[in-house]
Amino acid sequence: MEKTNFIDYIRIFCKSGHGGAGAKHFMRTKYNAQAGPDGGDGGRGAHIILKGNTQLWTLLHLRYYKNVIAEDGENGSKNNCSGRMGKDIIIEVPLGTIARDEETGEVKAEILNDGDEVILCPGGRGGLGNSNFATPTNQVPEHAQPGEPGVEGWKTLELKVLADVGLVGFPNAGKSTLLSVITAAKPKIADYAFTTLTPQLGIVEYRDGKSFCIADLPGIIEGAAEGKGLGHRFLRHIERNAVLLFLIPADSTDHKKEFEILLHELEEYNPEMLQKEFVIAISKSDMLDDELKAAIVKELPANVPHVFISSVAHKGLVELKDVLWNALNTKPVE
């Protein structure tokens, strides 16, 4: 049974702390019954903060943590004592997480680096005590500020996988097999559609100790941009990839059409996808002779690099790594 512990979308209710009220108080001493105002400030309400953590790869830990309620700040008191601030709540999330306001859709935070901290819901400011309002003409201020309210509302957290290269192709194109051969990743492999239901990441070892990250993503089907198949659940992960590796099997009935369908689904979802670097790999090519390879090349776009590979026979994999490395490290011509 497919594991379901990869959670890449979740909604949580957040409520930051209210600020404490400023105190209205007047000092009285043994020798001076009217020593003046000494009301302290209220403490700030607690923030709700998102923090990046490279050790996390899923939002699973938030599945049963749907209500995040932060502490209120304490009220000010006499002798100019300020109230204690509420204790901030820090929610650790994997890199690539985007937080949005559910009602408006506005992006509130984006976590890309380990240790990054972004305030998702700021706590309310504490009110000023009456000692702040004393003036030469108003030496007995009767006014102190209330604390500001916190922020509350539903937020959506969405994870977009961070990888240099994204594997794009129809189900059963051989993406998982390729990932298992060129990296140490062990994705589930079987001869039926949608074997891969969640993104799988692997590190490709290149020359001179260099490496890059590649992601095997669930297969596209025609209509994915409208939500068919795994739809948006898959397509949003491609947005983070610098290079897209289109995997088209050698036994496809129409290589050109298959590539055009994949491109169309990316464009329908987000036209900016077409600005990425593309590489085409013809998988299962151990069954092809030179004549068939030449015929396939004629179908492929001339401006996109292509490689013939066989994951099972380990053919063309070094050349593929070279092409991907060059695509990742070549600056686009402006």
Give the range of the structural domain holding residue 259, as residue numbers without chain letter.
165-329
Structure tokens at 92: 């650790």
Compute φ and ψ for 24, nearest 5 degrees: -110, 105
Residue ranges in the chain modelled with pLDDT below 70: 1-6, 33, 184-199, 218-236, 331-334
How much is the pLDDT for 3? Answer: 45
How much is the pLDDT for 42? Answer: 94
Per-residue DSSP letter, 91: E
Q: 178 and 155, same structural domain?
A: no
Is residue 334 a part of any domain in this protein? Answer: no
How much is the pLDDT for 137? Answer: 82
Q: 308 and 183, same structural domain?
A: yes
CATH number, domain with residue 262: 3.40.50.300
pTM of the model: 0.65
Amino acid making up residue 179: L
Q: 62 and 133, same structural domain?
A: yes
Matching residue, tokens 């680096």: 113
Q: 175 and 148, same structural domain?
A: no
CATH number, domain with residue 106: 2.70.210.12
Q: 138 and 197, same structural domain?
A: no
Across 78-130, where does the E strand assignment appear? 89-93, 97-101, 107-111, 117-121
> DSSP letter string over 9-42?
EEEEEEEPPPPPPPP--EE--SS-TT-EE-PPPP
Report the domain count for the chain.
Answer: 2
Q: 196 and 299, same structural domain?
A: yes
How much is the pLDDT for 331? Answer: 58
Q: 211 and 279, same structural domain?
A: yes
Distance CA 228, CA 220 (A): 9
Q: 128 and 196, same structural domain?
A: no
Is residue 2 a part of any domain in this protein? Answer: no
Is residue 26 a part of any domain in this protein? Answer: yes
Name the domain boundary from 111, 127, 159.
Answer: 159
CB atoms within 10 A of CB 103: 9
Contacting residues for 169 by C-beta, under 8 A, at least 6 apart: 175, 219, 220, 246, 247, 248, 262
Compute φ and ψ for 166, nearest 5 degrees: -110, 130
Q: 32 and 131, same structural domain?
A: yes
Number of H helices, E strands in the chain: 5, 16
Is residue 312 a part of any domain in this protein? Answer: yes
Is residue 127 a part of any domain in this protein? Answer: yes
**Strands ordered across the beta sheet of 243-249:** 200-205, 211-216, 165-168, 243-249, 277-283, 306-308
Instruction: Quick: pLDDT tens for 33-51.
Output: 677 888 899 999 999 999 9
Q: 300 and 178, same structural domain?
A: yes
Structure tokens at 233: 């659940």
Instruction: Quick: pLDDT tens for 94-152.
Output: 888 889 998 888 889 889 888 999 999 999 999 999 888 888 888 888 889 999 999 99
161 contacts 96 by C-beta, under 8 angstroms: yes
Q: 313 and 206, same structural domain?
A: yes
How much is the pLDDT for 188? Answer: 44
* Listed residue (23, 170, 12) closest to 93, CA to CA: 12
CA distances from 103 to 96, 100, 177, 283 (A): 22, 9, 41, 44
Where b means 16+ CB within 10 Å and e means fewer, 190-226 reads: eeeeebbebbbbbebeeeeeeebbbbbbbbbbeebbe
Q: 267 and 178, same structural domain?
A: yes
